[in-house]
Structure 1
Amino acid sequence: MACRGCSAGLGRLPKRITVPSRQNFLDATPLPASSRCALSTTSSAPTLPFATIPNTPSRTTRRAFHTTLPQQKFNLKEMLFNRVRESLSAGNSNYFIYGATEALYKACAAQADYIIEAADRKAGTLKTTEDGEEIGTSKAGTWHNDLDLLPTFSTWAQVTMLHMYLLVVRFRCLEPAAQQAWQSQLVNHFFYQAEAKMEDVHELTSRMIRQAYLKDLFVQWRGLILACDEGIVKGDAVLASAVWRNLFKAREDVDARALAAVVAWMRSGLRELGELQDKDIASAVKVIPELRAQSAVVDVPTASMRTAFAQVGITSS
């Protein structure tokens, strides 16, 4: 029902309402005040007797939005190629860091690599250590032959982690974000291949057992970082003790010259990596000295040692 004012207004309207044309659409006259509801009188905007239709631009107006310049062909394939090339060439991008750390890790892992002969496993002649660890065939030779280390998974992991430690120390000289990215990618490569080596080389098919071994390996990695950091700060004796516990498993029959060779190799590697520019860090492994070169000079006494030997009547070459 309408109110009294609206009813009175409706009574005065003609029985047929003529809708104005398009030209007079905006010039439509609102209803008189007496014909509107009392509740709508508080609004300041004029009230139209019908719903409004948006005024669409004419053909001439729409034509003004188009440009008269010739259209340029957009090559999506070329744009994507340029973006990917820029990402790969950027020294701080994740793509570049991933590829660089992968190359660095492969160089570290190849130093004490080994294989397990399928014929020995099939024939049951595969040798094992007292702890039940499988002994393979060396592919590198230097760390196995010169230091009398068995070609096993633990030896490969410890030698690889020693190389990785030298790189991690060099990464600490970078910006915090870059240092974290380089170290994380390098460590990820190591643990990915460690699990793959367990499954492919040692045929360890149980994922639960592999995960347990990987957790132990991660604890060893963290312990090696802490022990080597302490040795770098406190001196060669503490560093040799860390190498003896991790690499040589605290064996009592270890040759002291082997420990001295590894310590000299680590000191020389850290010095050469420290002289490397940040932009050349992708080729960091190339400047790490070989262990064979360090082993050759371990038995050569220094000038101070010759003097000390002479005082006690020992002759040295």
Structure 2
Amino acid sequence: MQVAMACRSCKRQLLLVARQANTAVATELYSGAAAAALGHQLRVATKPAAREQRRAFRCTQARSGILDVIRKSIQQSSEPYRVVAATKEIYDACSRAAPYKIDPIAVKAGTIPKTSEGEDIGEGKGMWHDDFKLPPTFSTWSQVTMLHMYLVFARLRNLDRDAAQSWQAQLVDHFFFDAEERMDLNHGISSRAMRSRYLKDLFSQWRGIVAAYDEGVAKGDAVLASAVWRNVFKAREDVNVRDLAATVSWMRLCLKMLDQMPDEALFTRAASALRWPAKNEFAVVDKPTRQLGDQLASPTTAPPAGKASSAA
């Protein structure tokens, strides 16, 4: 009788765990293997000893089934939290690329300087401001951040469809939460409706950026450089082509490093692929120019003496 009660207790626990897991795996486990283990599909033995043996066997199998469901339930329930933590670390690495600060006193007083397009100009130091001569504005921060995000976004497509969508959605959510907070705290946009309008425009930019960079990656460096010029450098006519070439070379390198990274390593090492400074690619871009300069600077080789005398 005690064994029979234990079997019913196992069955009840299995039902609760399966109900909490709310997954097809748990349902299938209960309806298939666990149901068979609990004895619903077994014939009842006529001898008392055989009956007790079957009950003990069913109880053991039920406990094993419960442990399997618990392990799968914990794994599936903890996966979203791992993705959130991993994408937050990746996003932080993306958003730190082009930092800028806005003086809150100047914002309230209305004395903050602005660009010709009416953007607030803050204070910013770093590679993208110093080496690539990008102004410390919200637009620069968002474009450089989205540039970094795209590189990871492209790598995530190699995951399973559901996993890729989960990773990409979390990464994009981190960006737009941060963007709205910057609009409010840094630029004094307290109107929720106005922030929503700006966020819609920013989302349209993001979708266009993904399409433009995808086209550039597929069609070649010239098309990719054109996409970078239109978005990051705002199609400025005075842009340094050397900056575009270095940015494209850096994008290719980051995509290569991310592609060589195993899927499981995305949880811990994805942000490391973005740490290589884009300015280091100036050495790669300048290499052909240096080689040409060396060739032009080298002295002309004198002709053999016999040929010189015959020419005379």
User: TM (normalized to structure 2)?
Assistant: 0.68
Q: 1:84 to 1:127 in 2, by over 3 A?
A: farther
Task: Render the CA deviation track for 1:63-115: whole Å, top value 9, x for unaligned.
Answer: 999979xxxxxxxxxx9xxx999988769711111111111111100111211
2:186: which partner in 1?
201
- More moved, 239-248 vs 123-132: 123-132
Q: Which structure 2 residue ranges, 5 or more long, are not aligned?
A: 7-16, 18-68, 299-312
Task: State the one-letter code of the partner of 1:155.
Answer: T
Task: State the one-letter code of the partner of 2:83.
Answer: I
Separation in structure 2 between the aligned mates of residue 126 and residue 253 of structure 1, nearest angstrom: 25
Separation in structure 1 between the aligned mates of residue 294 and residue 4 of structure 2, nearest angstrom: 95
Separation in structure 2 between the aligned mates of residue 141 and residue 87 of structure 1, nearest angstrom: 45
Report if the CA contact (8 A) 1:126-1:135 is conserved. yes
Q: 1:292 to 1:88 in 2, by over 3 A?
A: farther
1:95: which partner in 2?
81
Task: Render the CA deviation track for 1:261-304: whole Å, top value 9, x for unaligned.
Answer: 110110010011111111110221112221132234432227xx
2:281: which partner in 1?
294
Task: Note the 1:217-256 alignment, pairs <5 A.
Answer: 217-256=202-241
1:174: which partner in 2?
159
Task: State the one-letter code of the partner of 1:117.
Answer: D
Separation in structure 2 between the aligned mates of residue 132 and residue 174 of structure 1, nearest angstrom: 41
2:103: which partner in 1?
117
Q: 1:66 to 1:271 in 2, by over 3 A?
A: closer
Q: Name the structure, 1 or 2, with higher relative contact order (CA <8 Å, separation 6+).
A: 2
Task: State the one-letter code of the partner of 1:292.
Answer: K
Task: State the one-letter code of the partner of 1:169.
Answer: A
How far has the Cα of 1:142 moved from its partner? 0.8
Task: State the one-letter code of the partner of 2:102.
Answer: I
How far has the Cα of 1:119 moved from its partner? 3.3
Q: Which structure 1 residue ranges, 5 or more long, are not aligned?
A: 1-62, 69-78
Separation in structure 2 between the aligned mates of residue 112 and residue 176 of structure 1, nearest angstrom: 31
What is the aligned-residue RMSD (CA, Å)? 3.2
Task: State the one-letter code of the partner of 1:293.
Answer: N
Q: 1:301 to 1:96 in 2, by over 3 A?
A: same
For these two proteins, the number of residue pairs brought into alignment is: 240
Which residue of the other structure, out of 82, 93, 96, is the alignment partner of 1:107? Answer: 93
2:249: which partner in 1?
264
Q: 1:306 to 1:210 in 2, by over 3 A?
A: same
Q: Larger radius of gyration, structure 1 or 2?
A: 1
Q: 1:145 to 1:84 in 2, by over 3 A?
A: farther
1:214: which partner in 2?
199
Q: 1:293 to 1:181 in 2, by over 3 A?
A: same
Q: 1:146 to 1:86 in 2, by over 3 A?
A: farther
Structure 1 ranges of 4+ moved more than 4 A: 63-68, 83-92, 307-310
Separation in structure 2 between the aligned mates of residue 200 and residue 146 of structure 1, nearest angstrom: 28
Task: State the one-letter code of the partner of 1:290.
Answer: P
- Secondary structure of 1:215's counterpart equals helix
Where is the helix percentage greater, Structure 1 or Structure 2? 2
Task: Render the CA deviation track for 1:219-241: whole Å, top value 9, x for unaligned.
Answer: 11011111111111111000000
Report if the CA contact (8 A) 1:88-1:95 is conserved. no
